[in-house]
Structure 1
């Protein structure tokens, strides 16, 4: 599911028990160093907005950020809100499941609206 899209980037929801978004460049650059500097700066500004909004909305224990790109060899950044009672914490979401989650999170559709508004307003602090 696409949460946000413009001429350079798009943000996709990763199906998961936790809030998890992925930021992609539209151009399928293979490595971060291949991304033009101006777009690379924008990519991190978008990351900052998502992280801030995720922290404010969900109040997670930790925000995880990842960019392996081994299975999907193109630039993209994972942004994940982690909770002590999610199924994997403190392991990575790709790690060993430790328990069944018992998360009661606020409405994700509202979160998507908040993120979209923040990005459209370029609310960068």
Structure 2
């Protein structure tokens, strides 16, 4: 199953990861292997996008913590994972790729409203 693209501009696209927690992934359209391979201006835009997503997640979901990851070993191209973490998720405080500790007990607000807020903010605060 392909992940849902919730936003796209000429530089980036953002996918929803299928998971029990709010989890978005930021991709560059051009498949740069490393962050250092990206032009400096594009790296700055990437962090603008990251900052917006993190801020929207913090305010909408009120998580215990925001996790950011960029392993890119299996998919060897720049992409950033942004995850809202909760004490009640199945893995907390472990990483989502770690050992499951419990069954999740989450009651999260509607993700469609979150996506709309992210798209609205990205459309109005980033350079296209």
CA distance in structure 2 between the partners assigned to 1:80 and 1:31 by the alignment: 21
TM-score by length of 1: 0.97
Structure 2 match to 1:81: 84
CA distance in structure 2 between the partners assigned to 1:43 and 1:20 by the alignment: 17
Per the TM alignment, residue 28 of structure 1 is displaced from its structure 2 partner at its CA by 0.3
Match of 1:22 among 25, 29, 37: 25
CA distance in structure 1 between the partners assigned to 2:75 and 2:94 by the alignment: 22
Unpaired runs of 5+ residues, structure 2, are: none
CA distance in structure 1 between the partners assigned to 2:95 and 2:61 by the alignment: 18
Q: Is 1:40 paired with 2:43?
A: yes
Pairs within 5 Å for 1:1-125: 1-122=4-125
Q: Aligned-pair RMSD on alpha carbons? A: 0.7
Unpaired runs of 5+ residues, structure 1, are: none
For residue 125 of structure 2, give the secondary structure of its aligned residue in structure 1.
coil
